[in-house]
Chains A and B, each alone.
Chain A
């Protein structure tokens, strides 16, 4: 029997894992302050910023992919900026996929974190303040432990959603082996080329992966705490 996965399949799997890992780390760093601000602010900007963050949930990936291709391209505003900075242009590169995926998966990280921060409320922070903890100290020693389930959910969803990405990658990736050809694109290629056996193995792998991820999510976070 042939091996289940070709070398190209394995390289796509590795690339996908690498992409999802990098994106999840960036999202946790970027999403935490955004979620914190959204959870605490009384600013009039809360609505617009929250809506902006949530846009990728509603928009078809083709819209994101198309605008990323145009704005990141050599004639687009961001493309001109990255060229001026000596970074070149982002489409067709791994870095470009990272940028696209960060935008695409942002709400899946920010929203669980925001919910977790909101559930904590003012009280623990006030107590920490009376114990003379600085705001930063209070954040690390009070908020982070209390928001742990939120971080877990955010990490799992951010990772899984990036693995499941297709439309954006297809439009700005250029299908380059070892650089931008992720599993979802590889499956698409197999199906288009009528290589149904290989498509089946990769697709079944994705189904199993998605199920295990969601199983982990629901087992680790059984029921919602009532605040």
Chain B
């Protein structure tokens, strides 16, 4: 009995792997901050083209290491512009495919409705124990947070209160669970349909830090993958741009 089930199981696995490839498949490495918009864009993309998009979310530095070591990604949507440029210099991309798909916005956010005021004065008062940021060495949003505090002249006062998330998703988690009273995260994480979804926030003005340019690139192994090429094209379409904007990115 068990053996028969086993045979059946193995046969079904073999059958599924032997079936002809679907219309096309593109494996995308997506920066954690772009998770929500990319899920929507991928669904629209699949509907519009019939191609299938597999999304992996994570930290850009980790994706770099994985891509250099043979990870099966076709497209990288990075959280910065440095990593795609570095891959390009190292001939790991399709030349000329790099472009800025979004410019990120930094936000100071608290899960509580009165945790952050609209001018960010809460930073000066300093009446909090923990401020969550993404590790500035690793994450562009973390670096932008540090720049902002430096510009405000508050870095030495606030630095001892830093708790660091490994990426922007973990930083959000620290704040969302209330373990950190407030934190600098990506606007896209708490923004949908052009408004803040919950809690309270101060959208950091652009002149307090360098722009967070997020670049996309077609990876070398995908140069003959029509689904990957189609996705890059779709990201530049008006439909995709509208979605990207509605999550609080500029372009």
Name A's B-contacting residues (CB within 8 A): 69-70, 72-76, 88-89, 91-92, 170-171, 174-176, 188-189, 191-194
Contacts and interface: CB of A to CB of B under 8 A. Distances in A.
A194 B64 contact: yes
Contacts of B180: 92, 174
Contacts of B132: 174
B19 interface: no
B62 A73 contact: no
B164 A175 contact: yes
A41 to B, nearest CB: 35
Contacts of B163: 92, 174-176
Given A69-B173, A92-B130, A194-B61, A176 B164 contact: yes
Nearest to A176: B163
Interface residues of B, number: 23
A188 B179 CA distance: 23
B237 interface: no
A193 B166 contact: no
Nearest to A96: B179
Contacts, number: 64
B216 interface: no
Contacts of B137: 189, 192-193
B179 A189 contact: no
B162 interface: yes
Interface of B: 59, 61-62, 64-65, 129-130, 132, 135, 137-138, 162-166, 170, 173-174, 177-180
A74 B178 CA distance: 6
The 10 closest A-B pairs by CB, nearest first: A174-B163, A192-B61, A175-B164, A73-B179, A91-B179, A74-B178, A73-B177, A192-B138, A75-B178, A92-B163
Nearest to B129: A88
A158 to B, nearest CB: 26
Given A192-B62, A194-B64, A174 B164 contact: yes
Nearest to A193: B137
B111 to A, nearest CB: 9
A144 to B, nearest CB: 41
A188 B137 CA distance: 12
Given A188-B166, A191-B62, 9 more contacts: A69-B173, A69-B179, A74-B178, A171-B170, A175-B163, A191-B65, A192-B135, A192-B137, A194-B61
A171 B61 CA distance: 18
A47 to B, nearest CB: 26
Nearest to A191: B65
A201 B132 CA distance: 29
B85 to A, nearest CB: 13
6 contacts: A91-B174, A174-B180, A188-B166, A191-B61, A192-B61, A194-B65
Contact of A175 (B59, B62, B166, B179): B166
A162 to B, nearest CB: 20
B177 A70 contact: yes
Nearest to B174: A174
A75 B178 CA distance: 7
Contacts of A175: 135, 163-166
Nearest to A199: B65
